[in-house]
Structure 1
Amino acid sequence: MTLGKRAFFLIFPVVLAGYLLAAFSVYFAQGNSVFALERARLSQQLDHLAALFRNEVSQSRSFLYSILEGNAVRLFVSETDETYRDNALALRLQQSIRSLSDDPKMFISFAILNPDMTPGYYFENSEDPFAEIGEPQFALARRLTGGSQLRDWTYLHDQQTRPLIVYSEFIDPVTFSRPLPSAKKNALLVQVAIEPTQFLGMQRILQKEYGAAIDFDAAPPPQPSDELSASVRLAPSLFAMLAVPPSHKSGNKAQLRLLLGLGALAMSLISVGLMIILIRRFITNPISVLDRQVTAVMSGENDGIRESGAAGEIGRLTGNIKQLHDQSQRALKLVQHASWTDTLTGISNRGHFNTLAADIVQQVRNEGGHCSLLFIDIDNFKFVNDKYGHEVGDDLLKTLALRIETAVGEIVTRRALPPVIFARLSGDEFAVLVQSASGDGTIREMCAIILSLFANGFEVRGKDYPVTASIGVAICPTDATNLAELISNADAAMYQAKTNGKNRSSRFSRALQDKRDRIRHIQEELRLVDPDEQFHLVYMPIVDAGGKVTGCEALLRWVSPTLGNVTPDEFVPIAESSGLFTKIDWWVINRAMSEHHRLKQLFGQDTVLAINISSAELHSKSISDYFCACLDRHGLDPRTIEIELTETFAVKLGDQLHRNIEALRERGFRISIDDFGAGYTSVQQIIEYTADTIKLDRALVENLANKESLPALKAMIALCHAQNMSVIGEGVDTHEKLAMLTAAGCDQYQGYLISKPLILSDLSIWALKRTAEIAGRDGDRVLVKDRRRRAGSSSLL
């Protein structure tokens, strides 16, 4: 006999007897009491509905008074400028209305109707930006205008429109108080309408529960004693009534729940003993056997579930659970394989690689031996993705993974090495972990064969793509003693290969480690550095064509007690990338301005001080504020301060950066573009530069300061002059460069031919020597002119 039949024949008679007992109890119970209780419950729910309604009415009244007490309506009504009123004041009034409700989705509307019933203002909190006042609300306004009431609230519940509680009040447009009845025709009608969401929600709940609509009437409806109905007063002339239809069995259901509970209790007391005995013998014992088997499998004591061989549902249930367990085991293996496999290439992913590689590294450390990590990065892969599309990029990665796996596998097979771990770590980065003896040539051969795959481009589907590979190699335990360090060192070696020209391999070396340690030490020292103790400024003079010093460029120098002399080319990029340059820039600005008076004493009051600042600082307005604060602190003329920006940064000026620079120029500071010609600059960008000075980069001067390039140099300087920008030639270290720049029309010069960067004390000595040299040259010129004049006189005689 099946389990269903067994349960039916054993349990049904007992259950039937219990339900019959309960049914008889229902019929002979106090039906009238239950009916009265249901009517009382219905009345209580309607009272709750009325309370929600009155709360919504009070809320609409509160909204209206809150709006009128504010200043927004008064300003809107009294404003004569329609454009200003309909834009600025209307927006302000809209914001005031929105702020009334904590719920941004709550529907609320506000209307101002003129005495002639034309809408003066209307706003509703809805998704319709062109919403207008509804006809029912408009009809209410006309009715109130024709009547004698100065204040009214009404519930509009037309089935065709949104149910609204509308609170209306007439106000005097001058005094904003309630007008006299005689002045009502000149008053404004202000209306606030809200959707009574809580009331409507309760109304829908009651209608759904009782299967009948709630009717609204102006008079209290009669309540038949034999019908389940109730009514409640919402307002003096508004009543709500709910009449439950005879087909609805709400009262009978409640009675049945109560009495069937008592009947079930009596049935349980009588039949529980018999049911427990029967269920335990015929149902629970076979299921208990199955449960013990499943528990043993889950705890690991057994590998599988044995079929019981029993007939019926218990036997089939055992077989199905066994089948489900077997399927789950297979699915688990598939999921595990999927979680360890890169979906694009089919090789191991980063997670699987980390798991396997960590075990091998640990084994190498414990048992000896070597393992090597090849960190492979595809050069120019982003270019292929952007130009040919991601589908081509995906095909390239899949083809590359297959070819690397094949090539490396052949080497491993030929050399009888343990299987390698080959994985895709991220987008275009791959890793190969190889176990081989040190110095046996395996790694060199693998790098060579991988790089050979990119000879003359990488071919995919008959087309070559311009990609190459950079490979970094690190060996455990020589270069690293754990997986994280091994990956990090191989990655550093890969970047070294990129730096050396790409399409090559690079072995991690102590020099790379020293370089990384150096960068880390510089970062640590910069975080702790006291600029007043370790930083100092040197100044490089700038002269005009006559040799007069017109300005000096302030240059930062750092002498660290632990690192020694650190050049700006080394520590400036590290400081900028680490976000540590703000402190340095501000120190340079303040120190340079504090020493500007010494420069003026040496070279004159018009001496210009040029200050280089980090490009990252211009993203913040604080740098311009700090410039102005230092200027006021040291009592300087902003026209003698020149802020230098690199050309590559000036080309990328955005709106905010441009505004910051313009703010500095408006304050009186000069702006110069440094290293001009170091990047790729178009003629249009030269025209758009907002600068006072252009400083030609030393590399550009080196390339153009010759007779063949003199026309191009002249044209470039002439273009700068056309933009009212003076030109300074940097890197002037020979008389030939000076002569060419002078012939091209360059305004000022800077370089080692004139002077190297000097501290203030050495700059003072240089200034004295230069003054003496210029005086001597001027004396020689006078003597030569005098001799020529005398010689001319003699010839005349």
Structure 2
Amino acid sequence: MTLDKRALALIFPVILSGYVLAASLIYFVQGSSVLGLERARLWQQMGLLTAVFQNEVTQNRSLIYSLVEGNAVRLFVNETDASYRSNALGARLQQSITSLSDEKQKFVSVAIIRPPLSVDYYYENSDDPFAELTPQQLKHARAVIESPRLSSWTYLDVDGIEPLIVHSEFIDPLTFNRPLPTAKQSAILVQTAVRPAPFLEMKQTLEKEYGARLEISRHPLLAQGALSATAKLSPSLFARLTPRPDFLDQRLGTLKTLLALGAIALSLCSIGLVLFLLRRYITEPIARLDRRLTDVMNGSLSALPDMGEAGEIGRLSANVKRLHDNSLRSFDLVRNASWTDTLTGISNREHFNIRSTQIIAEAEAQGAGCTLLFIDVDNFKFVNDKHGHKVGDELLKTLAARIAAIVERTVTARGLPEGLFARLSGDEFAIMLRSQPGNGTIAEVSDAILALFAEGFEVLDKAYPVTASIGIAVYPDDARTLPELLANADAAMYQAKSCGKNGSARYSRSLHEKRNRQRRIEEELRVLDPDREFRLVYMPIVDGRGKVTGCEALLRWESPSLGRVTPDEFIPIAETTGLFSKIDWWVIDRAMAESGQLRKLFGPEMILCINISSAELYTRSISDHFCECAERHGVDPRTIEIELTETFAVKLGEQLRRNIDVLRARGFRISIDDFGAGYTSVQQIIEYPAETIKLDRALVESLTVAAALPTLRALIALCHAQDMSVIAEGVDTTEKMGLLAAAGCDFYQGYLITPPLSLDDVGVWAMQRLVEKAREAAQTPERRARA
């Protein structure tokens, strides 16, 4: 039906009916309409309130199911080490809870409870770090445990706490499925609670608007009066709102005056004039505009033409055209901005992921290949921190421009499809080329990029000591999906970095096997029993007369599935995965437990040296663990020396320095290990608070030559000037021993003395030394007599 016919069919009956019925019926019709409108509006509000409440219930249910199905709760429940579970896994579980919450400010609490009523874990995202499970929630948990149900939720609105939606779920600690009813007492109860803030805010708004309290009951409620509404919040929770009696009276007061004015207005209208004007100035221009818009939406027209109309319809046409044109331009601008890195102007990670996926799909369809180059700028953080973010940003922008020029020049010269160059994050870049190794393209691009750093990277007329490490992965030889290609190129990049930086490396089978071994080491670390697989060996430290003054405890791991795993392999993995606490705490406890046997062999003043992970000092609990172990095993803290690496000592911040000060205040000694293995200055190390400095074996190797004796003597003298004893590692020849002694070294450690030995072998070695000394003592008088 056209607009003209619709106008005639609607306006004529309305005007005619208005003349006849305006005076007699309009008041009653309007009064009933107001009542019906308010009733419908009230029911709509109650329906919306129900939807808001059910949404909160659904979010809470999703939260508990996500936690139960996740790995964090499983690790927490199955961990037998209470300290490790409380520190590392508790923090990890807290991170899982936080990541599952859509609104960071919304109150969420999670409790893990063992029947009959033992709370193993509780967390809530409140400002109170010592928050505990409320008595009301605990009472509800007791009711759930005593009931036959395995899953339950409730709207907890009791005195003393704000209303909460509480969801409880029993899980079997072995299968992490819902347990059998008969095994309920051995199951774990996971209880989550959220504060339904949107529901409570809407409830308060409705109560204020209608001047009545919203009733919530666990029994069905019936509407009371003409203007009353009920809602079924859940199968077992009902709500009712009955506005105050005078609510409608205020809205009907002015209706009578408006009715009189409306009747007069209707009598002044002429049906013919209305129809003429409506058609002339409204319906026909709107119809033309509708046809043009339809053509644009169907694609018949690329742009909306100028309608040439005057008045509101003309402005409407012009505004619609302007809106359409602006929308197209804005879409292009937003799309380009969302795909561009704001600093360098090249593609960002999002555009790289989209376009790389398309490139891989095109290569697969054509039976061709493509190559990913993953570029990391070495030492960029050093430049950024030392010279400022302005220099760092300029370095990245300059580097992006130069690499983009290299890529464009290479693909143009070789006639290849357009390459993709993007900044993934920070100082990481990626290049995707429709080319495979073998034709020289990848080597040309890699060599050109590395050449940018040959003499230092020049920015703002100054060269900075940065280099590049490039990892190369090829589709489909190395990976068949973009995530796998990125992961393999990243692994190859780290391989290039480990080979000396400013180089490139292709992903290989050996690298794949190395990654698999690292993954298996991580898996074994999570489940191993330290008492069965770990053991300690000891490497004695002697003074210039050969007396044993200390022993260094060294960790060894014999895995049933992996065989012997060196500390160089598993320590970095343990630190990056948060498993170092489990290892360090076992080492500390076992070393102190065996220290008594060592002191029986070498005397009560023997120093026991214990290496701990650098990352361990970020927690204050390590000092408490040292003191607790020392007290339990009856060890004097003054005979325990904690060894820290030189690199970590220099990077120590104020908080970590305070943790070190706490350990020293409790009597423990501090030693700087591997001095000379890093790039730190002598002044920084000497100023660091420690009792001992251990010279790294590489430094000992380079300085134990006659030409370097003055340097060695000066270095040791500098340490002595700071009241630090010096221990030389890697002493494996008498020549090294002699030069170190000539330079004034205090103590020695190395294979010339003995390799690392088990506790039993240390005893045998000590007895052999006693026998040798006794034999030498017996032979000395005889030699003198002969002389």
TM-score, length-scaled by structure 1: 0.60
Maintained 8 Å contact 1:686/1:720: no
The residue that corresponds to 2:418 in the other structure is 419
Secondary structure in structure 1 of the residue aligned to 2:741: helix
Secondary structure in structure 2 of the residue aligned to 1:758: coil
For the residues of structure 1 that align with 2:552 and 2:678, how far apart are their CA atoms? 21
The residue that corresponds to 1:599 in the other structure is 598
Structure 2 residue identity aligned to 1:778: A
Change beyond 3 A, Cα 1:360–1:325 = same
- Counting only pairs closer than 5 Å after superposition, residues 271-670 of structure 1 correspond to structure 2 as 274=271, 277=275, 280-286=278-284, 287-291=286-290, 293-294=292-293, 297-298=296-297, 303-305=302-304, 313-315=312-314, 317-379=316-378, 400-436=399-435, 439-453=438-452, 456=455, 468-670=467-669
Maintained 8 Å contact 1:585/1:613: yes
Secondary structure in structure 2 of the residue aligned to 1:644: strand
For the residues of structure 2 that align with 1:438 and 1:700, how far apart are their CA atoms? 41
Aligned-pair CA distance for 1:559: 1.3
The residue that corresponds to 1:733 in the other structure is 732
Change beyond 3 A, Cα 1:624–1:413 = closer
The residue that corresponds to 1:202 in the other structure is none
**Percent same amino acid among aligned pairs?**
61
The residue that corresponds to 2:57 in the other structure is none
For the residues of structure 1 that align with 2:687 and 2:752, how far apart are their CA atoms? 32
The residue that corresponds to 1:744 in the other structure is 743
Change beyond 3 A, Cα 1:532–1:730 = same
Secondary structure in structure 1 of the residue aligned to 2:609: strand
Structure 1 residue identity aligned to 2:625: Y
Deviations 1:426-456 (A, max 9, x none): 4544333222356322222333344445555
Maintained 8 Å contact 1:732/1:751: yes
Structure 1 residue identity aligned to 2:604: Q
Secondary structure in structure 1 of the residue aligned to 2:672: strand
The residue that corresponds to 1:267 in the other structure is 264
Secondary structure in structure 2 of the residue aligned to 1:751: coil
For the residues of structure 2 that align with 1:346 and 1:516, how far apart are their CA atoms? 34
Maintained 8 Å contact 2:592/2:629: yes
Structure 2 residue identity aligned to 1:629: E
Change beyond 3 A, Cα 1:534–1:738 = same
Secondary structure in structure 2 of the residue aligned to 1:618: helix
Change beyond 3 A, Cα 1:566–1:464 = closer
Change beyond 3 A, Cα 1:315–1:708 = closer
Maintained 8 Å contact 1:341/1:349: yes
Change beyond 3 A, Cα 1:589–1:462 = closer
Maintained 8 Å contact 2:719/2:726: yes
For the residues of structure 2 that align with 1:407 and 1:688, how far apart are their CA atoms? 47
Change beyond 3 A, Cα 1:325–1:677 = closer
For the residues of structure 1 that align with 2:520 and 2:463, how far apart are their CA atoms? 44
Maintained 8 Å contact 2:592/2:633: yes
- Counting only pairs closer than 5 Å after superposition, residues 45-194 of structure 1 correspond to structure 2 as none
The residue that corresponds to 1:673 in the other structure is 672
Maintained 8 Å contact 1:729/1:746: yes
Question: Which has the higher Rg, Structure 1 or Structure 2?
Answer: 1
For the residues of structure 1 that align with 2:680 and 2:459, how far apart are their CA atoms? 37
1:692 aligns with 2:691: yes
Maintained 8 Å contact 1:473/1:506: yes
Secondary structure in structure 2 of the residue aligned to 1:728: strand
Aligned-pair CA distance for 1:474: 1.3
Maintained 8 Å contact 2:649/2:685: no
For the residues of structure 2 that align with 1:656 and 1:410, how far apart are their CA atoms? 50
For the residues of structure 1 that align with 2:342 and 2:565, how far apart are their CA atoms? 48
Deviations 1:253-300 (A, max 9, x none): x9x977752433333554688487466534542325524643664576
Aligned-pair CA distance for 1:367: 3.9
The residue that corresponds to 1:91 in the other structure is none
Maintained 8 Å contact 1:470/1:498: yes
Aligned-pair CA distance for 1:581: 0.8
For the residues of structure 2 that align with 1:750 and 1:521, how far apart are their CA atoms? 34
The residue that corresponds to 2:89 in the other structure is none
Structure 1 residue identity aligned to 2:551: C
Maintained 8 Å contact 1:364/1:477: no
Deviations 1:161-197 (A, max 9, x none): xxxxxxxxxxxxxxxxxxxxxxxxxxxxxxxxxxxxx
Aligned-pair CA distance for 1:718: 4.2
For the residues of structure 2 that align with 1:270 and 1:323, how far apart are their CA atoms? 41
Aligned-pair CA distance for 1:740: 2.4
Structure 2 residue identity aligned to 1:267: I
For the residues of structure 1 that align with 2:318 and 2:657, how far apart are their CA atoms? 76
Secondary structure in structure 2 of the residue aligned to 1:417: coil
Aligned-pair CA distance for 1:734: 0.9
Secondary structure in structure 2 of the residue aligned to 1:595: helix
For the residues of structure 2 that align with 1:266 and 1:734, how far apart are their CA atoms? 118
Deviations 1:16-47 (A, max 9, x none): xx9xx99xxxxxxxxxxxxxxxxxxxxxxxxx
Aligned-pair CA distance for 1:529: 1.9
Aligned-pair CA distance for 1:759: 0.9
Maintained 8 Å contact 2:646/2:685: no
Maintained 8 Å contact 2:592/2:630: yes
Paired residues, number: 542
Secondary structure in structure 1 of the residue aligned to 2:584: helix
Change beyond 3 A, Cα 1:358–1:763 = same
Maintained 8 Å contact 2:347/2:423: yes
The residue that corresponds to 1:701 in the other structure is 700
Secondary structure in structure 2 of the residue aligned to 1:361: helix
Aligned-pair CA distance for 1:463: 7.1
Deviations 1:570-598 (A, max 9, x none): 21122122221111111001111111222
Structure 1 residue identity aligned to 2:375: I
Secondary structure in structure 2 of the residue aligned to 1:474: strand
Change beyond 3 A, Cα 1:306–1:715 = closer
Structure 1 residue identity aligned to 2:691: D
Maintained 8 Å contact 2:437/2:443: no
Change beyond 3 A, Cα 1:730–1:481 = same
Aligned-pair CA distance for 1:324: 3.9
The residue that corresponds to 1:234 in the other structure is none
1:755 aligns with 2:754: yes
For the residues of structure 2 that align with 1:399 and 1:613, how far apart are their CA atoms? 42
For the residues of structure 2 that align with 1:638 and 1:293, how far apart are their CA atoms? 89
For the residues of structure 2 that align with 1:468 and 1:693, how far apart are their CA atoms? 35
Aligned-pair CA distance for 1:685: 4.8
Maintained 8 Å contact 1:373/1:475: yes
TM-score, length-scaled by structure 2: 0.61
What RMSD, in angstroms, separates the aligned Cα atoms of the two structures?
3.8
Maintained 8 Å contact 1:370/1:438: no
Aligned-pair CA distance for 1:466: 5.9
Deviations 1:596-645 (A, max 9, x none): 22212333333332211222222332112111111221122333322222
The residue that corresponds to 2:159 in the other structure is none
For the residues of structure 1 that align with 2:353 and 2:479, how far apart are their CA atoms? 15
Structure 2 residue identity aligned to 1:730: E
